[in-house]
Amino acid sequence: MFSLYAECVVDGKNRGYVSFDNECFKLTLDNTDGFVKGALIAKKNFIFSKIMLKNFLRFENDDLFFANGYQAWTTSREFSKFDKLNGLIAPAMINPQLKHFAGLSGDYHFENYGEVGHFHSYTYCYFRKKDSRNITLYGSKSERKGFTIFDVDMTGGVFCIKKDVEGLSLKAGEEYDLFDIAVISGYFDEVMDKYFYDFVGCKTPKIKHLSGYTSWYNYFQNINEDIILRDLEGLDRVKDNVSIFQVDDGYQQAVGDWLLTDKSKFPHGMKFIADKIHKKGYKAGIWLAPFNAQVDSEIAKNHPDWLIKHNKNGKKMLGCQGWGGAYTLDIYNPEARQYIKHVFDVVLNEWGYDMVKLDFLYSQCIEPRNNKTRGEIMCDGVDLLREACGDKWILGCGVPLGACMGIFDACRISCDANKDWKFDVKNTSINSLLNLLKINAEIPSSQNAIINTVFRSHLDGRAFCNDPDVFFLRDINIGYNENQKLLHGKINSVCGNVLFVSDNAGDFDERKIAYLNEFFTQKDYKINLAQYVAKDEIKLDFTENGIEKSLVFNLSTGESNVRACI
């Protein structure tokens, strides 16, 4: 039986409520077998701060809780009551400005981290016993009324269902559907099918399997026409297993100025590149961060009125730390909205790209605004992107997953992989330092990428086609040993269906070509069970073309039995 706690601003005063029928509102709760539904009627004008349903549950030592992170990059896994969900590192908490900057990509400004046994999950969660394939899932039907957050204190025996309604104002007599939650118990795959297909209404994604190349993880922004065309030719020896070639960040003059191609790097323009890709028989993909405008971009300088402003001080709000900082275009500004549509019209219809990888989408909903919750804003942003792209493929990235399930064709399910497996005192590269610092749960990390890839594998083919990010086989510009490379490639191919490398395969010897073909080849995979068996050690039981296999690996060292699984 759920109890209620809510905080509202009424008549200019902050007030808390524990009654379902109070002076401010009436919440009718229907908590029957299989559903938790809550409809609210306002009695007065008020502004929401928070609302939650609270229940008491008993947790044993072998109970596990799956926490789906805030967005695509955020660490997502199963936790026991002895684990801890880490937030920002201590130095980032020194002052509010530093905390805000370090936490831009996550939920650190409105959720809590760092207590043993205390976890939170977005849109859906599940409970299960260790070694069991039976689960009980709680899942929201939609995030259009606000993000749904499932909060559990496994040491204190408390389970809460929260709605992120910060900043939402209601008028007397107004109705608002707060909660529409399914509660489904049973065998893992059957429960997931019921939730995603029957309750949420997802359709089988148009993309089933993609394999090919993306430029980012070898060159970052330092790409040019010669590099792209050389690496395109380099795939010839595996072309039977290649379906897509993607140009990532670096072709544009500045983030936001998508149609101003850097002519010194791409003198023949981006249509020329798409045509070259198509001649190879591949789909052409291209990267954009459609909501963002670099601080020194032409868009930011010429159209400051298009940019989101902070609620408190009215200043332009940074949405990303990258590129020296980037602002965010306001999708509710008609001219900014039209600009976004025009960009996609050119990229998809004039340049001829088949798929767009859309990044840093979370930046649209960092703060609630216009009497809209973060969840509603993110859903509106996803709808705009789907409208602008029509039937062309969308690969989402850096997006809260509940807003795009059943809408995007494919989606990243992990943070960026790191070019270094772990920190090495002999390696002072920025990638190695990032692996050491782990500033937040979204920072590039090969370990976190693998964790998410394994524990979000159930999304593949249900919510969208899973993109677990890249794996590596090259020998230069990389901090992996061969066993680590093979482990990452195998995990990606078992648990995902968007398989990218950033290597120039033209440099590969025959053994690497054989491995690349092995990982790119579409197979019939089924996950039987994935769980931690020790600290930093995961066991992945799966079936490959009808043959049962078990992959056991250590996240810290990369040691595994992967060669027995290839």
As given in the structure block, the two tokens for residue 417 are: 């992989």
Q: What local confidence, expressed as pLDDT, does residue 100 receive?
A: 86
Q: With cut-offs at 50, 70 and 90, classify the pLDDT of residue 101.
A: confident
The backbone torsions φ and ψ at residue 148, rounded to the nearest 5 degrees and listed phi first, read -95, 130
Over residues 85-114, mean pLDDT: 91
Q: What local confidence, expressed as pLDDT, does residue 436 receive?
A: 66
pLDDT single digits (tens) 121-136:
999 999 999 999 999 9
346 pLDDT higher than 80 = yes
Indicate the Cα dihedral angle 346, 352, 357, 360, nearest 10°.
Answer: -10
pLDDT single digits (tens) 514-535:
999 999 999 999 999 999 999 9
Q: What local confidence, expressed as pLDDT, does residue 97 receive?
A: 83
Average pLDDT, the chain: 96
Instruction: Return d(Cα 3, Cα 19) in angstroms, integer.
Output: 8
pLDDT single digits (tens) 393-441:
999 999 999 999 999 999 999 999 999 998 665 665 766 666 666 789 9
Over residues 50-65, mean pLDDT: 97
Span between the terminal Cα atoms of the chain, in Å: 49
pLDDT single digits (tens) 215-236:
999 999 999 999 999 999 999 9
- Please state whether 354 falls in left (phi above 0), alpha (psi between -120 and 50) or beta: alpha
Q: What local confidence, expressed as pLDDT, does residue 433 receive?
A: 63
Residue closest to 419 by CA, chosen among 466, 475, 468:
475
pLDDT single digits (tens) 298-331:
999 999 999 999 988 999 999 999 999 999 999 9
Sheet of 124-129: strand order equals: 25-30, 35-42, 175-187, 134-140, 124-129, 63-67, 77-79
Segments of 227-295 assigned E as strands: 244-247, 283-288, 292-294
Q: With cut-offs at 50, 70 and 90, classify the pLDDT of residue 98.
A: confident
Instruction: Return d(Cα 565, Cα 552) in angstroms, integer.
Output: 10
Structural element, H or E, at residue 374: helix 374-389
pLDDT single digits (tens) 434-490:
666 678 999 999 999 999 999 999 999 999 999 999 999 999 999 999 999 999 999
Contact 24, 46 (CB under 8 A): yes
Segments of 480-546 assigned E as strands: 498-501, 525-534, 537-544
Instruction: Return d(Cα 69, Cα 111) in angstroms, integer.
Output: 11
Q: What local confidence, expressed as pLDDT, does residue 312 receive?
A: 84
Instruction: Return d(Cα 47, Cα 505) in angstroms, integer.
Output: 57
Residue closest to 549 by CA, chosen among 482, 495, 484:
495
76 pLDDT higher than 80 = yes
Q: How many CA atoms lie within 13 A of 525 on its CB side?
A: 28
Q: With cut-offs at 50, 70 and 90, classify the pLDDT of residue 95.
A: confident
pTM (two decimals): 0.97
Over residues 185-194, mean pLDDT: 98
